[in-house]
Amino acid sequence: MQKAVDDHLDCIEEFINIPQLKNYLEGFDKPDAVTEVLKEIILQSKVEFNFEDD
């Protein structure tokens, strides 16, 4: 799972490449895994950009 998160973050760090991101997400067998990866990407993005929820 960590490799998937790292791959997704690479897409976001360099350039938001939606087709490439969709290809990675389609590779998951379980819908729960996609949700968990997306949650982690959101968390990492918030940390990186110093974003706080109200």
Domain boundaries of the chain, sorted by first residue: 2-47
pLDDT at 34: 84
As a whole number of angstroms, the distance between CA 15 and CA 11 comes to: 6
Distance (Å) of CA 10 to CA 4, 30, 38, 54? 10, 22, 13, 27
pLDDT at 14 over 70: no
Mean pLDDT for all residues in the chain: 78
As a whole number of angstroms, the distance between CA 18 and CA 21 comes to: 5
Q: Is residue 41 very low, low, confident or very high in pLDDT (cuts 50, 70, 90)?
A: confident
pLDDT at 47 over 80: yes
What's the whole-model pTM score? 0.55
Q: Is residue 45 very low, low, confident or very high in pLDDT (cuts 50, 70, 90)?
A: confident
